[in-house]
Amino acid sequence: MIAAMATLLTHRQRAFLSPAPEVTITHAFTRPFDNVVATARTCYSGSGIVRDDQVVDPQSPAEKQAEKRRRRDDLARDLYQAGHHTTLQHAHFQFAISNVSRQFLWSFLHSHPFYNSEQVSQRYVTVKPGNYAIPPLEGKSLEVYRDTVARLQAGYEELCRLLTAPVAAAYYAVFPSRRHYAGKYDKEIAKKAQEVARYVLPVATFAYLYHTVSGLTLLRYQRICQEADAPLEQRLVIGRMVQELLALDPSYAAVLEAPIEAEHTLEYQALRAVGALDEPERVALRRDFDRELADRVSLLVDHPARNEETLARSVREMLGVGPDRLPDDDAIRLVMDPARNHYLGEALNLTTLSKLSRAMVHCHYTFRKKLSHTADSQNQRHRMTPASRPLLESHLTSEPDYITPPLVLEDDACAARYRRAMEDAWDGITRLRAAGVSDEFALYLLPNAVAVRFTESASLLDLRHKHAMRLCYNAQEEIWRASLDEAMQIRAVNPRIGAHLLPPCGLRVRTAARPVCPEGKRYCGERVWTYRLEDYRRVI
């Protein structure tokens, strides 16, 4: 990996062979950089709010404007160097971004908490041929890359067809009356088939999205964009984002720093110090991880010993009462039981603003997890349950390592075609690496199904909300299974807390909210609110 990262220095100016990233600011503050200084000056203003046009008045003489800009930039640089960065968080920028890979999104753009994105979904939108990133390869390596992507695309299209029968069987087992009107539900079945078939698509597949960040986050993007795993694509996309920012407001150049060089990134230096593992060691490491995980998707590995007592005590502290007035069991129910805390049945998550609900922030849980790249791409969108995800370059081997959705295993023909697609992916990767192609570029051939192993931690406040969304039978199947594992294990160690980790319908029925299922015509077809957690079962 160290050698691969070092090659960035020689190809930094190279571009991908696929269509260049399209990046446009679609919405922004009118005078964002003036606002940085206006907010700072307001902190020390004795005469009220300082407006943007008081920083630099566009109606004043040119000489006076120039002097005010100089003073503005001096103050902005002074605040920036001192680390007083909250002033940079007010102005936000919405970008429309196209022609970027799923690998880039997972590795960089969605790997932190401070953003919002709405991207095209492979679960619901059919992926057409030709929409994928092509690194700067040439000759035989380029042929291998293109051929492998074509084979994976063919596998996706064939699985979309092959999966129709097992999806239909599972679907009509849940909705038997709909079988008489099959034509009406063909599209729904096709979408569920492509939801599973997408696992064989390469992480090079293009996406398009709206992405909104503050000015501070964009400056951070610029500074760290050359870290692994996709440094060239990151540099190209972030470079375009910064160009858009400077075109909108050139004043940001006053605080814009150059990217940290690849060899000076923390990850590069750490690997250089400890040394990367060879392939047998990498395989042994992931087998140890899987052995500990056993048959779980998510394994509880750490939690404070007094979670429940701490929760109860913090509730009493807020209310100003003692245990004689509010025993532990009652205090926990007051916050966790939807019948007592009716906020838990609302569609709008109010728990971070509710004084009593915030008591949940003191309880914590840590899990070791194994998800596919495509499932983790959705899992990481729960930005308040952060994880330490791997550098894929330091885990890559020639041995296929992937997740298989349960529905694929329901049909022998689907299972065989799925395995062939996985073999195609790793065959292409192995041939590229043998030809001297850097792991950075070989990674783009990994399928969505590639296994990602990591540790994830969360407060009860944020984990409860995640479970309320992902224990729903409409949630992506892998994340649903991980959430079920987590809820069951929390119930085992903290039963008074775990009893209230429920899907949205389970919460709503206890608050008497109607309808019980909030999904409308997307209703999963099962009366999940009547099931015990240990009886949850899903195929689709």
Among 450, 461, 472, 471, CA closest to 384: 461
Asked if the peptide bond before residue 337 counts as cis, ω within 30 degrees of 0, the response is: no
Give me the half-sphere count of Cα atoms (radius 13 Å) on the Cβ side of residue 424. 24
Instruction: Provide the residue ranges of all domains of the chain, joining segments of one domain with +.
Output: 2-121+206-274, 139-204+394-451, 307-370+453-535
Query: Are the CB atoms for 24 and 212 separated by under 8 Å?
Result: no
Give me the half-sphere count of Cα atoms (radius 13 Å) on the Cβ side of residue 184. 7
Q: Tokens at residue 286, please?
A: 């992931």
Query: Are the CB atoms for 34 and 56 separated by under 8 Å?
Result: yes
pLDDT per residue, tens digit, the chain (540 aa), is: 444 334 433 444 579 999 999 999 999 999 999 999 999 999 999 999 999 999 998 889 999 999 999 999 999 999 999 999 999 999 999 999 999 999 999 999 999 999 999 999 999 899 999 999 999 999 999 999 999 999 999 999 999 999 999 999 999 999 999 988 888 899 999 999 999 999 999 999 999 999 999 999 999 999 999 999 999 999 999 999 999 999 999 999 999 999 999 999 999 999 999 998 999 999 999 999 999 999 999 999 999 999 999 999 999 999 999 999 999 999 999 999 999 999 999 989 999 999 999 999 999 999 999 999 999 999 999 999 999 999 999 999 999 999 999 999 999 999 999 999 999 999 999 999 999 999 999 999 999 999 999 999 999 999 999 999 999 999 999 999 999 999 999 999 999 999 999 999 999 999 999 999 999 999 999 999 999 999 999 888
> CB atoms < 10 A from the CB of 123, how many?
14
Query: Are the CB atoms for 322 and 316 separated by under 8 Å?
Result: yes
Buried/exposed code over 77-88 (b: 16+ C-beta within 10 A; e: otherwise): eebbeeeebebb
Buried/exposed code over 247-281 (b: 16+ C-beta within 10 A; e: otherwise): ebbebbebbeeebbebeebebbeebeeeebbeeee
What is the Cα–Cα distance from 15 to 208, expressed in whole angstroms?
19
Buried/exposed code over 326-361 (b: 16+ C-beta within 10 A; e: otherwise): bebeebbbbbbbbebbebbbeeebebeebebbbbbe
The CATH number of 2-121+206-274, from 3.30.300.30, 3.30.1360.170, 3.30.70.2190, 2.40.100.10, is 3.30.1360.170
The pTM of the full predicted model, rounded to 2 decimals, is 0.94
Q: Tokens at residue 209, please?
A: 């999205």
